[in-house]
Amino acid sequence: MNKDIKLSDLVEGKNVLLVGNSKSLLKKDYSQLIDSYEFVIRFNLSIGKLNNYNIGTKCDAWIFAMCRENIINSTYSAAQIKPRVCVRYGDPFNIGEVNINLDVKKDDVRKEIGISADMYPSTGIATIWYMLNKAKPKSLSLIGFDSFKSPNFYAASTNAHLCHNLDAEAEYIKRICVTIL
């Protein structure tokens, strides 16, 4: 892990786009829009699917929270476009060229979005919170975020409701003043 590098340093002063995994990304070709941003962040299993859809190919950082090492390794290995920066939301895990942890305490995010201790903030929500509270991007935009109202673009279903408070996350996104594309 690169202890001297922080995600906040990499995004400072940049136009940052967080690309969620909602199936809404497939409604039209967002490739040019996504790839036009200075810094693009993608989440979890999506990096293994970038060439299969019209959702751009740019990926400056990959933020993942998957628990099992074999899933992390196989997702990264399958990715045709490897992100230079791999950011773990959770326990440290070394993969890729630059490895850093997302400096977020789940309890801080829980408090801000109003969820109980038995629920976990999603990777996307934790990253939004991080960008707004610990980083200084020039701008922050979101695309492909629908608070799990539809399945991920690469999966037929999701069990997100089992560990995330989807209504609280949707309300948090509405409360903040970011551009939702």
Options 3.60.20.40, 3.40.50.10490, 3.90.1480.20, 3.40.50.920; CATH for 7-180 is 3.90.1480.20
DSSP 145: -
3-state secondary structure string across 54-72: CCCCCCCEEEECCCCHHHH
DSSP 162: G
Residue pair 125/172 in contact (Cβ under 8 Å)? The answer is: yes
Is residue 38 over pLDDT 60? yes
Q: Considering only residues 77 and 178, tell me which one the structure prediction assigns the higher pLDDT.
A: 77
Tens-place pLDDT, residues 84-101 = 899 998 877 888 888 888
Residues sharing a CB contact under 8 Å with residue 32, sequence separation 6 or more, in sequence order: 56
Tens-place pLDDT, residues 147-173 = 767 777 777 767 766 788 888 998 999
pTM (two decimals): 0.91
Please provide the average confidence, as pLDDT, over all residues in the chain.
Answer: 88
